[in-house]
């Protein structure tokens, strides 16, 4: 991981939910696959439980793992008596005696694993904790369908914070082609203050990802371009992979 450890975006869990929550089609996508997998599910890099909790509310036995203690504290508060356990751990080194019918990462969390070693450790964790025939599901931005050019500060959007204020969101991007890593700086204008946070994401080509999955013991079942299950094409901005443990 990088010097700032990719955690600057996750210091304010309440406003994180307000900015990034509400992706109902995504939640439904993972719920449908959890039901089809017919067993307990594990979300790695679960954050505040934005996706974990809707599945638990639907009766899926859930475990959520994340490295950010502040995000997990908020997730536990929201969970109440739902059938979910939240564990503070690094997905690269997480160990449990449990085996899961489905393991997933969302929010493009796969791209936070910035080296070959990180990706290898992640896939080893997944393989070791899946039941025979269990599913790995995750999404990642497709470099062939993404503008990777450097950009100065541009407007990205806005959200309403926990105090009812409209927060304007903008940012910059700088791409390290040698390491296939995008450096994003997110700027938030809160009216009375302006904050910045940094995050790095690795872009893995379709061919390299396919080789990785096969090499670590996964068979690709389906690949989609969106949560409505539109078939993936080489120019799709998003790649959602549904894989089975071989």
Q: How far apart are CA 203 and CA 112, in angstroms?
A: 9
State the pLDDT at residue 3.
38
- 49-84 pLDDT, tens digit per residue, is 999 999 999 999 999 999 999 999 999 999 999 999
pLDDT digits (tens, 9 = 90+) for 140-172: 999 999 999 999 999 999 999 999 999 999 999
**pLDDT reported for residue 8:** 78
* C-alpha distances in Å from residue 76, one per residue of 8, 47, 48, 99, 229: 20, 10, 8, 22, 31
pLDDT band at 91 (very low <50, low <70, confident <90, very high): very high
Q: Where are the domains of the chain?
A: 8-143+202-245, 145-201
At residue 5, does pLDDT exceed 60?
Answer: no
The per-residue pLDDT of the chain, averaged, comes to 95
Architecture of domain 8-143+202-245: 3-Layer(aba) Sandwich (3.40)
């Amino acid at each position: 991981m990088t010097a700032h450890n990719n955690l600057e975006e996750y210091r304010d869990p309440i406003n994180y939910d307000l900015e990034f929550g509400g992706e109902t089609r995504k939640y439904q996508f993972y719920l449908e696959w959890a039901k089809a997998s017919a067993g307990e599910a594990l979300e790695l890099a679960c954050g505040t439980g934005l996706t974990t909790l809707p599945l638990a509310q639907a009766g899926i036995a859930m475990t959520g793992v994340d490295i950010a203690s502040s995000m997990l504290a908020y997730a536990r508060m929201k969970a109440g008596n739902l059938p979910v356990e939240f564990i503070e751990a690094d997905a690269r080194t997480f160990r449990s005696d449990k085996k899961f019918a489905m393991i997933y990462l969302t929010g493009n969390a796969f791209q936070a694993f910035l080296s070959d070693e990180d990706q290898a450790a992640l896939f080893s964790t997944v393989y070791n904790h899946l039941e025979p025939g269990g599913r790995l599901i995750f999404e990642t931005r497709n470099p062939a369908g993404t503008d990777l050019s450097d950009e100065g500060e541009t407007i990205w959007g806005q959200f309403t914070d926990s105090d009812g204020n409209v927060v304007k969101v903008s940012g910059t991007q700088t791409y390290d082609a040698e390491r296939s890593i995008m450096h994003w700086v997110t700027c938030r204008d809160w009216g009375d203050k302006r904050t910045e946070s940094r995050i790095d994401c690795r872009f893995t080509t379709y061919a390299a990802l396919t080789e990785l999955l096969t090499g670590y013991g996964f068979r690709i079942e389906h690949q989609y371009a969106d949560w409505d299950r539109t078939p993936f094409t080489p120019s799709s901005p998003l790649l959602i992979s549904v894989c089975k443990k071989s």
